[in-house]
Amino acid sequence: MDILFHVGTAAGGRLLYPLLLAAGRAGCRIGAFFTHEGVLGLRDTDLAAELAHIERAVVCEESWHKFCPDLNCPVEAGSQTTNSALMGEAKKVVSL
């Protein structure tokens, strides 16, 4: 994977969407991991739809249950161990 976007803040989702579009146009292989308040960005339907086009999108399951307990998760649920594995696979990590 060329770029892993690590989304850990509520504002990170708003920043992520245009970055995903730009990285996709550049032909990058993209991943995203959502944790802590970053999971709130997954409530954005445009962002959630765009995540279907990237290599891998994972949410910290514990954070999802804490911040969005009544919503269906639109991406793969994982753990901080998954986060570590994704970081190890990525050539670059962008923290939002």
- pLDDT band (50, 70, 90) for residue 6: very high
| pLDDT digits 0-9 by tens, 13-49 | 899 999 999 999 999 999 999 999 999 999 999 999 9
State the residue for tokens 């998954």: 82
Give me the CATH topology for the region 3-95: Hypothetical Protein Ychn; Chain: A, (3.40.1260)
Write the DSSP string, 29-95: -EEEEE-GGGGGGGG-HHHHHHHTTSSEEEEEHHHHHHH-TTS--SSEEE-HHHHHHHHHH-SEEEE
The pLDDT assigned to 25 comes to 95
Going from N- to C-terminal start, the domains of the chain cover: 3-95
